[in-house]
Structure 1
């Protein structure tokens, strides 16, 4: 449960940082930021694996770079579903995907791997 809360906070931080750095990404308030983090977590668990399998040939041809487009599409889907979260186009979505990916990678490096189930 603690790991889930930490992941939520990391996602909130990543989206907040993306809104500060990437032009075209914005939030109307902190509630929208928190709800966007929740929706992004759900979309990453449900929608992203499906898109990754469907776009596997393109991902192979582009040596994995197409995954940035997949991540941007998931972020765009969250923005489309949530009124207080705005992503203005594919470029802003890719920028947000890069920022959230880097923040999650750094946080994962500090947090460490998930302990094995007993």
Structure 2
């Protein structure tokens, strides 16, 4: 249940960010949910492989290369979902930063409100 709620919340964030950022396009809410699910799967299966392959560069850049890896994950999702489009690498970086920031805020608020019950 928690994973489903996180995917729905991420879908809402994706939809909001697509309306705020000029270089990110999502056709509708269902597509945003699909993008959220694809991003979750890519983060589970592809991101660890990329982290291992780029570990020396990540260490040398003090972890800043993780921004590039996150942008690549966003661009992979762009290639997998037809109704989701990101206009370039820098839009993917900005989208990734904002998505991570908003997810951390919303997930922590949701977790706190769940603990109060």
TM-score range, shorter chain: 0.7 to 0.9
Summarize deviations over 1:16-65 as a string: whole Å, max 9, x none: 23212322111122222111111111111111111111111111111111
- Root-mean-square deviation (CA, aligned residues, Å) is 1.5
Q: How far apart are 1:92 and its partner, in Å?
A: 0.5
The higher relative CO (CA closer than 8 Å, separation ≥ 6) is in: 1
- TM-score, normalization: structure 1? 0.86
Q: How does 1:82-93 map to 2 (within 5 A)?
A: 82-93=81-92
- TM-score, normalization: structure 2? 0.87
1:3 and 2:16 matched: no
5+ long unaligned stretches in structure 2: 113-117
Q: How does 1:62-73 map to 2 (within 5 A)?
A: 62-73=61-72
5+ long unaligned stretches in structure 1: 114-118
Secondary structure (helix, strand or coil) at the match of 1:17 reads helix
The count of corresponding residues between Structure 1 and Structure 2 is 112
Q: What residue number does 1:19 align with?
A: 18
User: Moved runs in structure 1, 4+ residues, more than 3 A?
Assistant: none
